[in-house]
Amino acid sequence: MTDIKLAEKQVFVQNSALRDAAKTALMEAVASKMAAPNKKEAQHDPLNEVIELLFFAYRDFTSDPDAILADYDFGRAHHRVIHFVGRHPGITVAQLLAILGITKQSLARVLKQLVEEEYVIQKTGTRDRRQRLLHLSNKGEQLERRLSEPQRKRVSKALNQAGPEAIDTFRKTLLALINQEDQATVEKLTGKGSTKGETS
Amino acid sequence: MTDIKLAEKQVFVQNSALRDAAKTALMEAVASKMAAPNKKEAQHDPLNEVIELLFFAYRDFTSDPDAILADYDFGRAHHRVIHFVGRHPGITVAQLLAILGITKQSLARVLKQLVEEEYVIQKTGTRDRRQRLLHLSNKGEQLERRLSEPQRKRVSKALNQAGPEAIDTFRKTLLALINQEDQATVEKLTGKGSTKGETS
DNA sequence: AAAGATATGTCAACATGACTGACATAAAAT
DNA sequence: ATTTTATGTCAGTCATGTTGACATATCTTT
């Protein structure tokens, strides 16, 4: 008696329903249960708190562009490429690989698409003609702005809410979270804009 | 004349080599080029800076556990489950789904493994016997500690380096980065520890 | 008590974005 | 002239996410 009536009334609670309701309704459920008095393990370590906050913050932070990307049939991988090429025009493939921390085969897949669809332009290096210096086309720049806008707004809002010293403290903390060896490099990287020194 | 000599001398620069050298040597290369004087687009927006820092910080932040996980043939998905079950013992499957923002089919795959290998224990709810309240076994708690230790150290170090007000400011900023609708929920969630109110 | 809704689980097929390994070409460096 | 470097590409695999369909046990409602 439990085998034929299902499909009609259950479907609506199936997959994405759980996802979409998740960030709202179901989260409420979580919270309410949470409100119940706990017993033990109230490990109220602020460190653990920060770790969880990082998880949620990053999740939401990346969700903005994800939605936009879907329109273009692109994924996060494309976004990362667009972002770093946009912020560091003239970057080489090797540099991009180093920054992204992925293999060239992985990069190739998305980069190829981006070049074919003319979001990214490859210019042969003049100093070293083996290099392919990467730039955004106008189209690419447009997409970049579209993608970064919600993120900038989100960050801006958050920093404002957190107070005037937040910009500085937040930046300092993030930098200190990065692997020691890379901190100096990243500092230079984010401090500057382009990757020039040569161009075609 | 370029078709038979390859495999011997190239292999070492192949895949992971690029990855491993990446975070050190190649990053250096990036930095040096960066140092070259730029021309235009010095969009020195601190917002963009923060966005990139977030990317790097989160990347390194998650790399600690990733390495450990490999020993167990687990991935990030397992880590997330272990983390949230560990920090919120007695959490239900539905709640976990809401937090993780994935489908139950995705969760099932990793949860099944974790239960089979006895890192996670399912207890039937007493108030609602349909629920499976999730807990870590001792084994699971050990793994949880092993995984969170490097992250806690990293965060701790970063907060110290960033100054005394960093804990508070960093937490505030992260919270404000989260989707408005979820902020209150997450605050409760991270503030408390367990998910009890009932147990078996 | 019967009917419906909910919490959980499971099979199967598919997409994305990583990875490894192997091989290629053009250009620079030795 | 030889070797190394920067880039690209084919092929196969793996982890993790997604839909869709269906099952079972246990509340909840009528």
Q: Is residue A78 part of a domain?
A: yes
Q: Which two tokens stand for residue B157?
A: 């170090």
Which bases of chain D come closer than 7 Å to a protein CB?
A: 3-12, 15-28
Q: What are A42-83's pLDDT values in tens digits?
A: 457 889 999 999 999 999 999 999 999 988 989 999 999 999
Which segments within chain B are labelled E, that is strand? 120-124, 132-136
Q: Is residue A1 part of a domain?
A: no
Q: What are B96-106's pLDDT values in tens digits?
A: 999 999 999 99
Rg (CA), chain B: 22
- For residue B176, give Cα distances in angstroms to A53, A61, A161, B149, B183: 10, 11, 7, 26, 7
- According to the model, what pLDDT value does residue B44 have? 73
Q: Does A174 touch chain B (CB under 8 A)?
A: yes
Q: Which residue of B has its CA nearest to A156?
A: B47
- According to the model, what pLDDT value does residue B197 have? 43
Alpha carbon dihedral A189, A191, A197, A199, in 10-degree steps, equals 80
Q: Which nucleotide is nearest to A112 (CA to C1')?
A: D8
Closest by CA to B97, choosing from B139, B55, B134, B60, is: B134
Can you tell me the distance from the alpha carbon of B123 to that of B178, in angstroms, rounded to the nearest whole number?
Answer: 32
Cβ count near B47 (within 10 Å): 16
Q: Which two tokens stand for residue B24?
A: 């050190």
Q: Which 56-85 residues of chain B touch chain A by CB within 8 A?
A: 56-61, 63, 80, 83
Q: Which residue of A has its CA nearest to B18?
A: A103
- According to the model, what pLDDT value does residue B89 have? 96
**Residues sharing a CB contact under 8 Å with residue A2, sequence separation 6 or more, in sequence order:** none
CA of A57 to C1' of C27 (A): 45
- The residues that bridge with B133 in the sheet, in sequence order, are B123
Helices (H) and strands (E) in chain A, counts: 10, 2
* Residue A30 predicted with pLDDT over 90: no
Can you tell me the distance from the alpha carbon of B114 to that of B110, in angstroms, rounded to the nearest whole number?
Answer: 6
- According to the model, what pLDDT value does residue A189 have? 86
Residues in chain B with CB shorter than 8 Å from the CB of A39 are 194, 196
Q: What percent of chain A has pLDDT over 90?
A: 64
Q: Is residue A128 part of a domain?
A: yes
ipTM: 0.84
Pure H helices in A88-179: 93-100, 104-116, 138-162, 166-177
Closest by CA to A186, choosing from A55, A89, A95, is: A95
Q: What are A32-46's pLDDT values in tens digits?
A: 544 444 444 445 788
Q: Is residue A170 part of a domain?
A: no
Query: Considering its fold, how many domains does chain B have in total?
Result: 1
CB distance A185 to A195 below 8 Å: no
Q: Is residue A183 part of a domain?
A: no
Can you tell me the distance from the alpha carbon of B2 to that of B193, in angstroms, rounded to the nearest whole number?
Answer: 62
Q: Is the CB of A105 under 7 A from strand D?
A: yes
**What's B11's DSSP letter?**
G
Q: What are B153-187's pLDDT values in tens digits?
A: 999 999 999 999 999 999 999 999 999 988 988 99
Q: Is residue B108 part of a domain?
A: yes
Q: Which of residues 142-181 of A touch strand C (CB under 7 A)?
A: none
CA of A99 to C1' of D5 (A): 19
pLDDT category, B122, cuts 50, 70, 90? very high
Q: Does B131 touch chain A (CB under 8 A)?
A: no
Q: Is the CB of B99 under 7 A from strand C?
A: no
Mean pLDDT of B57-65: 93
Q: Is residue A26 part of a domain?
A: no
Range of the domain at B91: 45-162
Closest by CA to B185, choosing from A111, A56, A40, A191, is: A56
Q: Which 92-111 residues of chain B touch chain A by CB within 8 A?
A: 92, 94-95, 97-99, 101-105
CA of B104 to C1' of C13 (A): 16
Q: Is residue A36 part of a domain?
A: no
Can you tell me the distance from the alpha carbon of B200 to that of B132, in angstroms, rounded to the nearest whole number?
Answer: 10
Residue A123 burial class via C-beta count within 10 angstroms: exposed 0-12, middle 13-18, buried 19 and up: middle
**What's A5's DSSP letter?**
S
Can you tell me the distance from the alpha carbon of B177 to that of B197, in angstroms, rounded to the nearest whole number?
Answer: 30
Q: What is the CATH number of the domain that holds B117?
A: 1.10.10.10
Closest by CA to B60, choosing from A185, A155, A194, A67, is: A185
CA of B197 to C1' of C11 (A): 34
Q: What are B2-34's pLDDT values in tens digits?
A: 332 333 344 445 564 444 444 444 455 555 444
